Every structure is written in structure tokens, then in C-alpha cells.
């Protein structure tokens, strides 16, 4: 029996109707005998099981400050922003400051402006949004980041 037939026989019934084509190992393509593996161990990677634990707001802040300090390109910046804003909380001023500095470092003004739009969407009321604006005003002035409301006053 050929190696490919042996592999099909060992695989067992398919759990899905459509399967992605997997590349054959070099040994199988060359017609060499491949040792038989149990049907449930085709993967060479082990499953990593992690225990999710509660993260405090201070740990969240420290983690994302570190993430934004290490940003080297626009993709990393936007990925970290998506992750930070995905939580059911508004990131702290320290995290937002690090994100704004990272946006300036990678020269991405549109993303810097969108950070403020994200804050506006996450806060509960206009008073909280104004507190964030007041707190981040010196940094905005230093980095030259306008608000969407300043660029398009009629849409506010």
C-alpha cells in the first residue's frame, strides 16, 4: 500500500465536508515510507491552555503604555488601539498619551484624530469627553493634533 493510501486510511472519517488542501510532506511525495501516526495526532503543535485571570485597571494601563511605547509601525499602532478600545472601559489618560505619541512617532495623523473619536464613543456623556480633552490638551497642542470637530465644525 502506498504512503498516501496509508495516510488516508489512518485519517478516518472527515468531520467537515470541505477540507483545505494540505501540502504533502517531502517524504510522501518522494514515495518514501512514512511511519504510521495515530489518527488524532496530525498536528505538530501543542495546544496552549492559559488561565484567564482578572486584570486590574492599573495592570491594563501599564500593559498598554508598554505596548504603545514599543510601536514601530502603523499596523502595530492600530492593532493596539483596537485591542485597547475593545474592553468595556475607557483607557486612561496615560494610555491615550502613549498612543498619541506613538501615532506621532509613526507619522499617522488620521489615527491620532481617530483616537479622540474613539474616546468620544466610549465615554458615557459629554462631560467625561470634555475632561479627557482638557487633560490631553497640552499634549494635543505639543503634537499638533486637531480634533475632528475643529476640522469639520458643521458636523459637530
Q: Could you read off the pLDDT of 33-44 as tens digits, one per residue?
A: 444 444 454 444
Q: Interior CA angle at 74 toward 71 and 79, to 5°?
A: 75
Q: What is the pLDDT of residues 103-136, one digit of tens each?
A: 999 999 999 999 999 999 999 999 999 999 999 9
The pTM for the full model equals: 0.64
Q: Cα(132)–Cα(119) distance, rounded to whole angstroms? A: 8
CATH code for 57-155?
A: 1.25.40.40
Q: How does residue 15 score in pLDDT terms, banded at 50, 70 and 90? A: low
Rounded CA separation 138/108 (Å): 19
Q: Are the C-beta atoms of 99 and 70 separated by less than 8 Å?
A: no
Domain residue spans of the chain: 1-12+24-39, 57-155
Quick one: cell of 153? Answer: 465644525
Region 32-57: mean pLDDT is 55
Amino acid at each position: 500500500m502506498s504512503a498516501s493510501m496509508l495516510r488516508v486510511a489512518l485519517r478516518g472519517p472527515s468531520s467537515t465536508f470541505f477540507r483545505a488542501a494540505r501540502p504533502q510532506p517531502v517524504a510522501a511525495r518522494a514515495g518514501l515510507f512514512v511511519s504510521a501516526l495515530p489518527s488524532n495526532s496530525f498536528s505538530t503543535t501543542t495546544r496552549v491552555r492559559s488561565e484567564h485571570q482578572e486584570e486590574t485597571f492599573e495592570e491594563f494601563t501599564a500593559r498598554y503604555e508598554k505596548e504603545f511605547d514599543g510601536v514601530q509601525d502603523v499596523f502595530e499602532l492600530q492593532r493596539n488601539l483596537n485591542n485597547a478600545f475593545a474592553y468595556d472601559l475607557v483607557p486612561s489618560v496615560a494610555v491615550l498619551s502613549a498612543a498619541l505619541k506613538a501615532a506621532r512617532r509613526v507619522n499617522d495623523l488620521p489615527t491620532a484624530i481617530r483616537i479622540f473619536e474613539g474616546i468620544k464613543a466610549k465615554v458615557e456623556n459629554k462631560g467625561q469627553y470634555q475632561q479627557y480633552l482638557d487633560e490631553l490638551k497640552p499634549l494635543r497642542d505639543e503634537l499638533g493634533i486637531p480634533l475632528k470637530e475643529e476640522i469639520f465644525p458643521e458636523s459637530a
